[in-house]
């Protein structure tokens, strides 16, 4: 089930969005065009079609789906095939697949291509045990001797561009991102997103931006830098100074849905997004999820987590969170949320630059 053409945001919010979107500069990575160099990272159970569509509305230059199992695709699992669906309103979306077998990945990529993505992306960065334990995700970084064949099998099965998302290496003693990138180039991979942590770091510590900048300057492919891009100040700084061709935002937009736009606000400009703007974003997400959820309960579960993330930086979040999780109906949840956002005395969201967030992982 796909979304319908829903009503736009209020004129006040839409005018702010349009103003900042107009300041973006498109970017070309390989043969793929993106509307800006700020892209949405793939996140497990988060990067669904409704959320991707919302992020494009709010300035993301392109998006990548949540990681999708090649075996689930090949076994014709209904739920997995639903994850491949791309909304007709989406413009620049890639589908990310994971698996350990080149033959299975090639077969799945061919199926995924039929759903109309701009590109297929190979997950080589997921650090979670259930993925790594099968030999997929960041486990693929451990033995580079097999990667040439792995890439070649997938590449020859599809007509659209192929990209990869990797980490800097398996652990501190095996940082091999540049080696992987050179192999990828030889096999026709068009661009590479690099999360600036090793697999052993999971989502703890800091992303190694010194290494990401070295890769951006010296790698033979376009590099997308990823890691710790959670705040407007850091994103804005990197946009001005990075050697990377583009930046990939993951966890940050969950708490600040305007993170793809705010770096384009001039620092002397009195322009900001209000609590009421955030509630409008949640209303839009509810509209979009209605087109995909199997039931109101499923929709409510999805909306709840986004409400809690989006409330971060405002006052009385803990009591709001408790109330949201105690409310069993979506309509009542939205009434509670409207009251929460509309009664905020401080009209600017206040997020701490170095808050840890979702360090247990998201795929």
CATH number at residue 178: 3.20.20.70
Q: Which domain holds residue 77?
A: 19-264
Q: Quick check: helix, strand or coil at residue 78?
A: helix
- Which residue ranges of the chain lie beneath pLDDT 50? 1, 5, 363
pLDDT value of position 1: 46
- CA dist., res. 10 & res. 276, Å (int): 10
pLDDT value of position 357: 58
Residue 3 lies in a domain: no
- Choose among 181, 204, 209, 224: nearest CA to 42: 224
* 126 catalytic residue (yes or no): yes
What end-to-end distance do the CA atoms of the chain give, in Å? 25
Q: What are phi and psi of 29, to 5 degrees?
A: -115, 110
- CA dist., res. 295 & res. 114, Å (int): 27
Residue 341 lies in a domain: no
Over residues 310-333, the pLDDT tens digits come to 999 999 999 999 999 999 999 999
Round the CA-based radius of gyration of the chain to a whole number and report it.
20
Residue 330 lies in a domain: no
- Select which of 106, 108, 126, 194 is catalytic: 126
Q: Domain total for the chain?
A: 1
Residue 321 lies in a domain: no
CA distances 219 to 43, 140, 191, 215, Å, are 25, 20, 10, 5
Residue 340 lies in a domain: no
Over residues 294-312, the pLDDT tens digits come to 899 999 999 999 999 999 9
What is the model's pTM?
Answer: 0.95
Residue 14 lies in a domain: no
Q: Quick check: helix, strand or coil at residue 227?
A: coil
8 Å CB contact between 330 and 337: no
Residue 320 lies in a domain: no
Residue 280 lies in a domain: no
- HEC per residue, 324-350: HHHCCCHHHHHHHHHHHHHCCCCCCCC
């Amino acid at each position: 089930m796909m979304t319908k053409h829903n009503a736009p945001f209020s004129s006040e919010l839409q005018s702010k969005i349009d103003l900042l979107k107009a300041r973006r500069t498109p970017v070309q990575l390989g043969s793929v065009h993106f509307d800006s160099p700020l892209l949405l990272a793939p996140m497990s159970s988060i990067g669904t079609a409704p959320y991707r569509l919302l992020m494009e509305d709010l300035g993301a230059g392109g998006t990548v789906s949540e990681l999708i199992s090649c075996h689930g695709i090949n076994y014709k699992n209904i739920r997995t095939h639903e994850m491949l669906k791309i909304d007709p309103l989406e413009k620049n979306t890639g589908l990310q697949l994971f698996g350990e077998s080149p033959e299975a990945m090639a077969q799945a990529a061919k199926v995924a291509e039929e759903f109309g993505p701009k590109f297929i992306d190979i997950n080589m960065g997921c650090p979670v045990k259930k993925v790594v334990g099968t030999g997929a995700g960041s486990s693929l970084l451990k033995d580079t001797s097999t990667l040439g064949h792995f890439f070649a099998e997938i590449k020859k099965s599809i007509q659209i561009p192929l990209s990869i998302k990797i980490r800097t290496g398996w652990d501190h003693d095996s940082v091999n991102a540049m080696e992987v990138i050179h192999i990828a180039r030889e096999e026709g991979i068009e661009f590479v997103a690099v999360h600036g942590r090793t697999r052993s770091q999971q989502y703890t510590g800091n992303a190694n931006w010194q290494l990401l900048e070295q890769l951006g300057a010296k790698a033979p492919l376009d590099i997308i830098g990823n890691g710790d891009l959670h705040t407007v100040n850091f994103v804005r700084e990197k946009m001005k100074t990075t050697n990377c061709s583009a930046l990939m935002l993951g966890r940050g937009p969950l708490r600040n849905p305007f993170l793809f736009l705010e770096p384009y606000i001039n620092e002397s400009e009195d322009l900001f997004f209000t609590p009421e703007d955030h509630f409008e974003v949640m209303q839009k997400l509810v509209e979009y999820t209605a087109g995909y959820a199997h039931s109101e309960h499923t929709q409510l579960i999805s909306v709840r987590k986004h409400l809690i993330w989006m409330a971060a930086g405002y006052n009385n979040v803990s009591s709001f969170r408790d109330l949201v999780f105690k409310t069993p109906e979506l309509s009542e949840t939205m009434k509670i949320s409207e009251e929460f956002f509309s009664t905020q005395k401080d009209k600017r969201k206040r997020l701490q630059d170095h808050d840890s967030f979702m360090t247990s992982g998201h795929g």
